[in-house]
C-alpha cells in the first residue's frame, strides 16, 4: 500500500517538474511561439464578442492579455504543486500542502521573472510577477472551495444514508 502512494507521488512530481520545465522553456524564448499569439488573438475575439462594456475586467485583459496568460499558467502550476505536496511521504508537507504550494509557486514566479531579465528581447515585470502570484493564490482558493464543497456533499450523503432527519431535531 505504501508503494502505491510513492508511485502516485512520483507521477505527480514528474508531471509538476515537466510543467515547471515548460514554464522555463517558454520564458527562455526571445519570441513566444506562434501558437501563443494565435491563442491571444482567439481570446481577444471571444472577449470582444462577450462585450467588454459589461465587464471592466475584460477590458483590462484585452489591453494586457499576457497577464491572463501568466495567471492561467501559474493557476495550473499551483494545482499541480498542491496535488504533488498532498502525496508527499512527509506528513509535515502533506499537512501544509497549501503553504508549501504558495511558497514554492510564488518563489518560482519570482525566479521566472529574474530569468527573463537574462533572455534577449525579454524583460522582467512586477506586473507579470503579480499575475503569477495571483494565479498561485487563486488556485489554492479554488482547491479549498472544491474541498469544502466535497466535504459538504459527503456529509449530506452520509446523513441521508444513515437516515438522519434534520426536521426531527426541531420537534
In a domain, 154, yes or no: yes
Q: What is the DSSP letter of 31?
A: S
In a domain, 57, yes or no: no
In a domain, 106, yes or no: yes
In a domain, 29, yes or no: yes
Alpha-carbon gap, residue 171 to 169, rounded angstroms: 6
Per-residue pLDDT of 49-70, as tens digits, reads: 666 555 565 566 666 668 888 9
In a domain, 164, yes or no: no
Domain count, the chain: 1
In a domain, 42, yes or no: no
Q: What count of other Cβ atoms lies within 10 Å of the Cβ of residue 161?
A: 8
Chain-wide mean pLDDT for the chain?
A: 84
pTM exceeds cut of 0.85: no
Q: Which domain holds residue 142?
A: 2-33+67-159
In a domain, 55, yes or no: no
Alpha-carbon gap, residue 12 to 84, rounded angstroms: 5
In a domain, 168, yes or no: no
Return the pLDDT at 86.
Answer: 96
Which segments in the chain show pLDDT lower than 50? 1
Amino acid at each position: 500500500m505504501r508503494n502505491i502512494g510513492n508511485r502516485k507521488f512520483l507521477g505527480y512530481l514528474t508531471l509538476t517538474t515537466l510543467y515547471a520545465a515548460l514554464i522555463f522553456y517558454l520564458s527562455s524564448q526571445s519570441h513566444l511561439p506562434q501558437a501563443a499569439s494565435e491563442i491571444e488573438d482567439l481570446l481577444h475575439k471571444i472577449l470582444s464578442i462577450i462585450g467588454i462594456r459589461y465587464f471592466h475586467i475584460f477590458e483590462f485583459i484585452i489591453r494586457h492579455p499576457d497577464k491572463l496568460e501568466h495567471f492561467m499558467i501559474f493557476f495550473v502550476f499551483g494545482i499541480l504543486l498542491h496535488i504533488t505536496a498532498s502525496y508527499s511521504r512527509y506528513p509535515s508537507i502533506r499537512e501544509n500542502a497549501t503553504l508549501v504550494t504558495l511558497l514554492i509557486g510564488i518563489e518560482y514566479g519570482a525566479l521566472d521573472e529574474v530569468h527573463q531579465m537574462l533572455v534577449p528581447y525579454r524583460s522582467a515585470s512586477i506586473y507579470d510577477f503579480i499575475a503569477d502570484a495571483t494565479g498561485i493564490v487563486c488556485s489554492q482558493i479554488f482547491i479549498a472551495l472544491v474541498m469544502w464543497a466535497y466535504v459538504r456533499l459527503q456529509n449530506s450523503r452520509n446523513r441521508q444514508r444513515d437516515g438522519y432527519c434534520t426536521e426531527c431535531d426541531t420537534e
